[in-house]
């Protein structure tokens, strides 16, 4: 059974250095879907007569973009979003660790995982790279629920065996064994993928880092996610814990963890040597502007990353970040760049959270675009979702301007619908699917 979607369709068919020039935009476009994947993309008029039996969904006047890819967030932190008064290290101790403790109860973990996925979909996110907690079952729960809708899910059990409360610690051995078991059970099963997840250098012993580095080498197609150079006190702490490392990145590098499968959250305070290493190893940055502002961490140097040839993706970092909205992350990235006198083009912003992220993660044949064979993961944006957006976004509709305005004005009902593998997982109340 084929499905035919109608709307104004915007995506990046290719990897590019200049997204502002390389978007494909089809007004009154049609996307033909079969078996959860894109079969054809063209004008609606050219497809509708050829596929008279297709189930039709009319999103005329709305903007259809690839489902957003959020490359860094913490599903167990959902309930502690927007907590007052602390910067990173105190915030971890005061709010994060006590919250993550609750996930020792798998029933609780499943309820929050369910809530979390719905938040993603209500915000147009269809791929996420999420941290679970130290508990193996927390990662399993997310894989299990994502599998029920055939969602592209990357997650992993957090590993930490020091400098956090006893009740939240694993060991070097158990971190290795639990992660290895999760890889065997879930990695590349359906659309699931595993990410080995040392929380950050301060919370892992040398033994644990070595074990996790070994695990990466044993599974070169598995991802790694961690935090890097987010906060000045954190950077100073790492320097005192690893006096022989030339910089923070070098701690990870010394365990073989800096690869093209490694996603480093934040990367605010990097020296030139670290930027070069990131570029040489094709490692990936998750730029988390809302978190960096909310926790007062600092400003990511997007222009430096571009100049050094380092791949940047965009992320919410819930719940260091104070919103699930990738559109708003894009708006906040613009502001972080403005503070450094850089203009982040809205099409470049969209690229960072669709095709650019897919390319960085090596999954651009699966997600991030509407090329034939990619999964039909998309979100439908309504430029006229309230009075203010109707006033601001009027004719003629330049898609870059629409996106730009939405990245600041976006609210929950900006997203009309979100689809995963050719099926709606969210539709705004009052809209037909
Ligand atoms: N560094 C170590 N753990 C965390 C976390 O949970 N959130 C953020 N933003 N930074 C971290
Ligand atoms: Zn984080």
The number of angstroms, rounded, from the C-alpha of 306 to the middle of its chain's C-alpha atoms is 19
Q: What is the pLDDT of residue 395?
A: 76
Distance CA 299, CA 232 (A): 12
pLDDT category at 430 given cuts 50, 70, 90 is confident
Q: Are residue 188 and residue 315 in the same domain, yes or no?
A: yes
* Gap between the Cα atoms of 286 and 293, Å rounded: 15
Same domain, 49 and 191: no
Parallel, antiparallel, or unpaired for β 192-198 and 284-287?
Answer: unpaired
Domain of residue 252: give its range: 68-324
- Does any domain span residue 330? no
pLDDT (0 to 100) of residue 431: 76
Q: Write down the pLDDT at residue 90.
A: 98
> 273: how many CB neighbours lie within 10 A of its CB?
12
pTM equals 0.98
Q: Are residues 63 and 90 in the same domain?
A: no
For the CA of 234, the nearest atom of ligand 1: 1
Instruction: Looking at 23-156, list the stretches that DSSP marks H as alpha helix, in order from N- to C-terminal side.
Output: 44-48, 88-91, 97-101, 106-122, 136-148
Identify the band that residue 432 occupies on the pLDDT scale cut at 50, 70 and 90: low
Determine the atom of ligand 1 nearest the C-alpha atom of 131. 6
Note the pLDDT tens digit of each residue in 196-223. Answer: 999 999 999 999 999 999 999 999 999 9
Among 293, 324, 355, the domain boundary falls at 324
Question: Which residues 6+ apart lie within 8 Å of 22 measured at CB?
Answer: 12, 13, 14, 16
**Torsions phi, psi for 371 (to 5 deg):** -70, 155
Q: Look up residue 82 and give its two tokens.
A: 């927007």
183 within 8 A of 218, measured Cβ to Cβ: no
Indicate whether 337 belongs to any domain.
Answer: no
CA pair distance 319, 383, nearest whole angstrom: 27
Q: Calculate what percentage of the chain has a pLDDT beyond 70.
A: 99
Domain contains 352: no
List the one residue out of 77, 65, 22 whose CA is nearest residue 288. 77
Asked if residue 210 is part of any domain, the answer here is: yes
Which of 70, 157, 164, 200 is the best mutation target for the ligand 1 pocket, counting ligand atoms within 8 Å of the beta carbon and taking the most?
A: 200
Tell me the per-residue pLDDT of 7-62, one tens digit each, with 9 for 90 and over.
999 999 999 999 999 999 999 999 999 999 999 999 999 999 999 999 999 999 99
The answer on pLDDT for 314 being more than 80 is yes
Residues 252 and 115 in one domain: yes
Distance from Cα 415 to the centre of ligand 2, integer Å: 25
Q: For residues 113 and 137, is the Cβ–Cβ distance under 8 A? A: no
Distance CA 344, CA 335 (A): 9
Cα–Cα distances in angstroms (integers) from residue 211 to residues 168, 173, 228, 387, in the given order:
19, 8, 19, 56
CATH code of the domain in which 257 resides: 3.20.20.140
User: Is 303 within 8 Å of 340 (Cβ atoms)?
Assistant: yes
C-alpha radius of gyration, the chain, whole number = 21
Q: Report the domain count for the chain.
A: 2
Ligand 1, closest atom to CA 295?
Answer: 9
Ligand 2 centroid – CA 293 distance (Å): 13
In a domain, 361, yes or no: no
Q: How far apart are CA 298 and CA 95, in angstroms?
A: 20
Please report the pLDDT score of residue 328 as a whole number: 98
Residue 14 lies in a domain: yes
Question: Among the atoms of ligand 1, which is closest to the Cα of residue 203?
Answer: 2
Q: Residue 397: its pLDDT value, please?
A: 78
The CATH number of whichever domain residue 401 belongs to comes to: 2.30.40.10
Residues 413 and 280 in one domain: no
Report CA(77)–ligand 1 centroid distance (Å): 10
Note whether 394 and 315 are same-domain residues: no
178 alpha carbon – ligand 2 mean position (Å): 21
Taking a C-beta distance cutoff of 8 angstroms, is the pair 323, 290 a contact?
Answer: yes
Structure tokens at 168: 């939240």
Number of C-beta neighbours around residue 314 at 10 A: 27
Pick the last residue of a domain from 324, 356, 390: 324
Closest ligand to 263 CA? 2
Q: From the CA of 294, which ligand is nearest? A: 1
- Sort 89 into a burial class: Cβ within 10 Å, 0-12 / 13-18 / 19+: middle
CA angle 55, 57, 60 (to 5 degrees): 150
Which ligand is in closest contact with the Cα of 265?
2
Q: Confidence band (pLDDT; 50, 70, 90) for 124?
A: very high
3-state SS, residue 30: strand
Nearest CA to 376 out of 50, 18, 54 is that of: 54
Scanning the structure block, which residue is given the tokens 């990695």? Answer: 187
Looking from the CA of 110 toward its CB, the CA atoms found within 13 Å total: 8
Pocket of ligand 1 (CB under 6 A): 74, 88, 92, 96, 199-200, 227, 230, 291, 317, 320
Same domain, yes or no: 290 and 413: no
The residue nearest atom 9 of ligand 1, judged by CA position, is 320
Residue 396: predicted pLDDT = 66
Can you tell me the mean pLDDT for 80-98? Answer: 98
- Tell me: do 142 and 196 sit in the same domain: yes
Distance CA 266, CA 270 (A): 10
- Is residue 175 within 8 A of residue 159, CB to CB? The reply is yes
* Same domain membership, residue 135 and residue 236: yes
Q: How confident is the model at residue 429 (pLDDT cuts 50, 70, 90)?
A: confident
Q: Report residues near ion ligand 2: CB below 5 Å.
A: 265, 317
Residues 279 and 384 in one domain: no
Q: Say how many CA atoms lie within 13 Å of 335 toward its Cβ.
A: 15
- Residue with token string 């956090």: 164
pLDDT digits (tens, 9 = 90+) for 319-366: 999 999 999 999 999 999 999 999 999 999 999 999 999 999 999 999
- DSSP letters, 158-204, are EE--SSS-GGG---HHHHHHHHHHHHHHHTTSTTEEEEEEE--GGGS
Torsion from C-alpha of 187, 188, 189, 194, nearest 10 degrees: 30
The reply to whether 27 falls in a domain is yes
Q: What pLDDT band is residue 394 in, cutting at 50, 70 and 90?
A: confident
For residue 72, report the distance from its CA to the centre of ligand 2, in Å: 6
51 and 80 share one domain: no
Any domain includes 432: no
- Give the Cβ contact number of residue 395 at 10 Å: 5
Domain boundary among 268, 301, 324: 324
**Residues 29 and 156 placed together within one structural domain of the fold:** no
């Amino acid at each position: 059974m084929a499905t035919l979607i109608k709307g104004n369709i915007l995506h990046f068919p290719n990897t590019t250095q200049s997204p502002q020039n390389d978007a494909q935009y089809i007004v009154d476009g049609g996307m033909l879907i079969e078996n959860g994947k894109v079969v054809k993309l063209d004008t609606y008029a050219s497809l509708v007569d050829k596929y008279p039996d297709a189930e039709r969904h009319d999103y005329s006047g709305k903007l259809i973009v690839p489902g957003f890819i959020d490359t860094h967030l913490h599903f167990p932190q959902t309930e502690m979003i927007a907590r007052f008064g602390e910067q990173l290290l105190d915030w971890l101790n005061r709010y994060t660790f006590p919250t993550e403790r609750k996930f020792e109860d798998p029933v609780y973990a499943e309820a929050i995982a369910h809530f979390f996925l719905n938040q993603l979909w209500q915000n147009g996110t269809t791929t996420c790279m999420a941290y679970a907690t130290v508990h193996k079952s927390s990662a399993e729960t997310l894989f299990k629920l994502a599998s029920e809708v055939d969602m592209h899910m990357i997650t992993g059990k957090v590993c930490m065996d020091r400098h956090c409360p006893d009740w939240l610690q694993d060991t070097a051995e158990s971190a290795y064994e639990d992660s290895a078991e999760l890889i065997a059970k879930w990695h590349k099963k359906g659309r699931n993928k595993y990410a080995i997840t040392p929380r950050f250098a301060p919370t892992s012993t040398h033994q644990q880092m070595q074990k996790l580095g070994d695990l990466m080498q044993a599974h070169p197609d598995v991802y790694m996610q961690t935090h890097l150079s987010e906060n000045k006190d954190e950077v100073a702490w790492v320097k005192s814990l690893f006096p022989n490392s030339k910089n923070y990145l070098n701690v990870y590098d010394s365990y073989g963890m800096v690869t093209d499968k490694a996603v480093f959250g934040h990367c605010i305070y990097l020296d030139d040597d670290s930027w070069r290493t990131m570029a040489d190893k094709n490692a990936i940055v998750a730029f988390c502007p809302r978190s960096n502002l909310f926790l007062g961490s600092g400003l990511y140097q997007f222009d430096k990353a571009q100049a050094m040839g380092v791949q940047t993706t965009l992320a919410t970092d819930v719940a260091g970040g104070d919103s699930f909205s990738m559109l708003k992350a894009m708006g906040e990235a613009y502001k972080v760049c403005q503070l450094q006198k850089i203009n982040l083009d809205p099409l470049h912003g969209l690229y960072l959270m669709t095709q650019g992220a897919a390319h960085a993660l090596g999954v651009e044949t699966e997600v991030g675009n509407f090329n034939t064979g990619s999964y039909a993961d998309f979100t439908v944006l309504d430029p006229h979702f309230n009075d203010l957006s109707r006033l601001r976004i009027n004719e003629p509709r330049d898609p870059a301007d629409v996106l730009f305005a939405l990245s600041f004005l976006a609210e929950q009902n900006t997203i009309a619908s979100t689809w995963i593998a050719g099926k709606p997982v969210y539709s705004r109340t009052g809209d037909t699917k």
